[in-house]
Amino acid sequence: RQSGGTSGPRVNLFGSGVILQQVLQAAGVLEDEYGVAADVWSVTSYGELRRDALDSERQARLVPDKPAPQSWLDRQLTDVAEDVPVIAVTDSMKAVADQIGRFVRQPWAVLGTDGFGRSDTRENLRSFFEIDASSIVYTALVELARMGKFPTDRVIAAREALGINADRLDPAGSQP
């Protein structure tokens, strides 16, 4: 986990594997261009986090007369305010990161590679699936705006500056 230092709005960015480079790049843009601090989390396995959370949930169900055990994810997010959004980014289908969504008490958004890619380079593929740094920045700003923590007019300006095409077809529904 790497903490940003800005005192303004704050987001949590989850990334795994090679997509972590895009997440780190997005964190820098958020801080430098928009005054948004980003705590970056390296997620080594969404599946393991889910198994552990399910185990904690099961233990709480089986032994209701004792305090519910905290999952590893809960312990990590204990000090994270419940009004600080989490944007999880994966270069797999969104369902991979969404495995843990119900265990995260903060506002939750997921970016992933649902659909059929038709790109010649990794950079183009990330752009096509909206998991590149620009898309991560934009999603973080949108989530903050939804919570009243970032002005909507600045989100619209950022959309243009970041090259986000609001009229583009959803990659999940695009056919090869």
pLDDT digits (tens, 9 = 90+) for 10-22: 999 999 889 999 9
Which percentage of the chain shows pLDDT scores above 90?
69
Report pLDDT digits (tens) over 106-121: 999 999 888 766 667 8
pLDDT of residue 122: 83
Asked if residue 85 lies in contact with residue 147, where contact means CB atoms within 8 angstroms, the answer is yes
**pLDDT for residue 1:** 45
Which tokens is 3 given? Answer: 């903490």
pTM over 0.95: no
Q: Is the pLDDT of residue 40 over 50?
A: yes
The residue whose two tokens read 């619209």 is 156
Beta sheet of 37-42, edge-to-edge order: 37-42, 10-15, 86-89, 108-111
Question: pLDDT higher for 125 or 134?
Answer: 134
pLDDT band of 176, cuts 50, 70, 90: low
- Name the pLDDT band for 175 (thresholds 50, 70, 90): low
pLDDT tens digits, one per residue of 77-87: 988 888 999 99
Q: What is residue 148's predicted lDDT score, i.e. its pLDDT? A: 96
First vs last Cα of the chain: how many Å apart?
Answer: 37
d(CA 159, CA 138): 6
pLDDT band, very low/low/confident/very high, at 125 (cuts 50, 70, 90): confident
For residues 37 and 65, is the Cβ–Cβ distance under 8 A?
A: no
Query: Nearest Cα to 75, choosing from 49, 97, 112?
Result: 49
User: 74: exposed, middle or buried (C-beta count within 10 Å: 0-12, 13-18, 19+)?
Assistant: middle
Angle made by CA atoms 36, 155, 113, in degrees to the nearest 5: 85
Residue 110 CB partners (closer than 8 Å, separation 6+) = 87, 88, 89, 90, 94, 97, 98, 101
Query: How does strand 108-111 pair with strand 37-42?
Result: unpaired
